[in-house]
Amino acid sequence: MSLRTLGRKVQMEILQQEGDVCELLFNQKRSQRACRLFLNQLKASNGLTRSEVNQFSRDLRDGKLEAGFRYSRTRFYAYVRKTLLTLGLVGIQQRPADDYRESFEPELRRRPRGIVDKYVPVRQPIAKRAPDGLNLVRLTWIICRKWNKEFFPDREEGK
């Protein structure tokens, strides 16, 4: 077995391990941590409005979300949010507001009452069987499978 083949097998085993999807998306540990905090916040609520994401980024900058961890707003918007939106893992959809009477968010004034734009996780349509080889398509399939397992565990994989 050649060294190249052995290296590919080791890389595939690393990708298949039960790891965090943030580790596959970002190289920097700080970006991975900021992404994990954002995804936990997204999972805890039924989507986040723009003002809630803004408040999240301010709390992240001030270190209120996790003791001893601060991450700038510019980096959050430029790296974490932009990457998740570009890859299609997070989308902006119109959803009913949780409590539109007490909220004075600008989104509520522009839309019909009770409808706001929210950042929500998007289910990734993937095949049941993984593509062959170690390539971009396989890596994308692995990322999408881990994403679906985390955010949509009740749905059957590959449908």
Both structure tokens of 50: 């723009």
Instruction: Specify the pLDDT at position 88.
Output: 93
In a domain, 101, yes or no: yes
Instruction: Specify the pLDDT at position 102.
Output: 46
Sites in the chain below the pLDDT cut of 70: 1-18, 98-113, 155-159
- Residue 66: phi and psi, rounded to 5, are -145, 130
Alpha helix (H) ranges present in the chain?
3-16, 21-25, 29-44, 50-62, 73-75, 82-86, 106-110, 136-151
In a domain, 27, yes or no: yes
Instruction: Specify the pLDDT at position 6.
Output: 47
In a domain, 157, yes or no: no
In a domain, 158, yes or no: no
In a domain, 159, yes or no: no
CA 60, CA 109: separation in Å to the nearest integer?
27
In a domain, 115, yes or no: yes
Structural domain harbouring 76:
3-151
In a domain, 7, yes or no: yes
Instruction: Specify the pLDDT at position 41.
Output: 95
**Alpha carbon distance, N-terminus to C-terminus of the chain:** 37
pTM > 0.75: yes or no: yes
Q: How many domains does the chain have?
A: 1
